[in-house]
Structure 1
Amino acid sequence: MSTPAEVEAAFARARAAQAARAATPVSTRKTILLRFHDLVLERQNETSAA
Structure 2
Amino acid sequence: MAKKVVATLKKEGGKTYAKVIQAIKSPKTGAYTFKEVIVPTDEVQAALKN
TM-score (norm 1): 0.26
Q: Which has the higher helix share?
A: 1
The structure with more radius of gyration: 1
TM-score (norm 2): 0.26
Higher RCO, 1 or 2 (CA under 8 Å, sep at least 6)? 2
